[in-house]
Copies of this chain bind each other. A is one copy, B any other.
Amino acid sequence: MSETIHSYVEARRQPFLDELFELLRIPSISTLPENKGDVTRAADFVANSMRNAGLENVEIMPTAGHPLIYGDWLHARDKPTVLCYGHYDVQPPDPLELWTTPPFEPTLRDGNIYARGAADDKGQMYMHIKAVETLRGLHGKLPVNLKFLIEGEEEIGGKSISHYVAENPEELDSDVALVSDTALYAAGIPTLCIGLRGLVYMELEATGPSRDLHSGLYGGAAPNAVYGLIELLAKAKDAQGRIQIPGFYDSVEDPTAAEIESWRSLPFDQREFLDREVGSSALTGEPDRMVLERVWSRPTLEVHGIAGGFTGAGAKTVIPARATAKVSFRLVPKQDPDKVLAAFRQWIDRNTPAGIRTELRLLSSAPAVMVDPSHNAIQVAAKAFSEQLNQKTVFIRSGGSIPIVGDFARHLNIPTILMGFGLPDDGLHSPNEKYALENYYTGIKTIARFLELYGTAQ
């Protein structure tokens, strides 16, 4: 073999980047109805890239929401099958004014690609496609069988793919899934994520008076929907961040002593985490637990946004009639999303202040996931990763949620390799989201190498 994965990718740095930039320019914001056309354009772009890479049977499948893309290559007889997953949709970019360069004009700066979706997940999903292209270019064929399933609803709960996986287990039958939507523990450290938190995302609406009232004429006797919502939500956690809903922690398990021990051996500078990543005056949360434990293995209740009453410039003296908050739980293994939701509903009924009516709407729901690090595919992935970065692969968890991983486990009965190349300060979901340029190329090479090794490891 005259050419290696390394030299093949290095020779194509510019075109591989140009293509990604083209994809990043499409504002495929799945949650905003006005961007529906952009989401479709992104799907077309990804499908074409898959065809160009040599995948077959590429199909854009319409759903009740945004399209799913399928493609495969199934000519590696007696070799295992890898199911590659990614998503082409992104979070809204607001607040826009905080971006140094526009979110949908990808820009190279200080070795980073700045754009919404650069790391989450367009930049990482696209590595899979380029890894396939690289292997086909080098060998004319692939070392394993591949199925690609790429969605456009990850940022809004991924309902369509979840239904699709549940209904098509035979078509998707594989040995392992491969997902690149996580981060290295730190720059240069090969990292496999073996645990994810679940997510129950809700909208809570409070109503008080039947219309906005004059706060002078009614203040003191009329309920205030904004204040009622504030009172209710404030009761949901104590000052240490412990959730006050009865039974909430019943099935929460602590990590094993060995896992805690391995987390303790990871480099972690709490001062730097606070100053450079979080940027607040102090950290919060359960004081008796280390930070990695709080964000990886403890459930949370978060309010993502709140709106109600008059919030324009100046003053308006109303008692607001309505207020709404976006609220979520992050769940850990063994917590049942349905039970948590039911307990929250009951708690709301019991704790809503007098004069206030509340309505809770579920927007999405997924349980937490754990994979077994001793699984063959995980071990091969760790080897490819170690080789590439010349360092021992670490196993960590992530506090984020990738609901599809749970669906793969439940319906296809396969583990998922969470092999991501982001960095902790990439600013996912924030202004100035970035992805390290070099990690884009490292990702392509590592994934290609993993597929090579996995094809010979059986």
> Footprint of B on A, CB under 8 Å?
30-33, 91-92, 94-95, 98, 155-157, 197, 199, 201, 207-224, 226-227, 230-231, 233-235, 237, 239, 241, 273, 277-286, 291, 294-295, 298, 300, 302-320, 323-326, 328, 330, 353-357, 363-364, 398-401, 424, 427-432
Contacts and interface: CB of A to CB of B under 8 A. Distances in A.
Contacts of A281: 223, 354-357
Given A311-B326, A317-B328, 13 more contacts: A157-B315, A213-B278, A220-B285, A222-B283, A223-B281, A227-B302, A280-B355, A282-B355, A283-B355, A302-B317, A305-B309, A309-B326, A316-B429
19 contacts: A33-B313, A156-B314, A199-B216, A199-B317, A201-B315, A212-B429, A216-B400, A217-B424, A219-B302, A219-B399, A220-B294, A220-B298, A223-B284, A239-B353, A282-B354, A284-B353, A305-B310, A307-B311, A316-B429
A223 B398 contact: no
A231 B281 CA distance: 17
Contact of A295 (B94, B221, B312): B221
A258 B301 CA distance: 52
Contact of A326 (B91, B233, B310): B310
A197 B216 contact: yes
A355 B279 CA distance: 9
A400 B429 CA distance: 44
Nearest to A228: B284
B224 A303 contact: yes
Nearest to A210: B279
Contact of A31 (B273, B307, B312, B429): B312
A224 B316 CA distance: 26
Contacts of A94: 310, 312
Contact of A233 (B98, B227, B278): B227
A355 to B, nearest CB: 4
A278 B217 CA distance: 11
Contact of A230 (B210, B234, B357): B234
Count of identical protomers in the assembly: 2
A363 B280 contact: no
Given A279-B210, A286-B220, A306 B226 contact: yes
Contacts of A401: 216, 317
A294 B285 CA distance: 39
B314 A31 contact: yes
A157 B315 CA distance: 8
Contacts of A316: 31, 91-92, 155, 304-305, 326, 429
Nearest to A202: B315
Nearest to A98: B211
A223 B429 contact: no
Contact of A278 (B221, B231, B328): B221
A278 B431 contact: no
A430 B398 contact: no
B315 A222 contact: no
B209 A278 contact: yes
Contacts of A400: 214, 216-217
Contact of A211 (B211, B285, B427): B427
A283 B318 contact: no
Contacts of A306: 226, 230, 306-309, 311, 323
Nearest to A402: B216
A429 B214 contact: yes
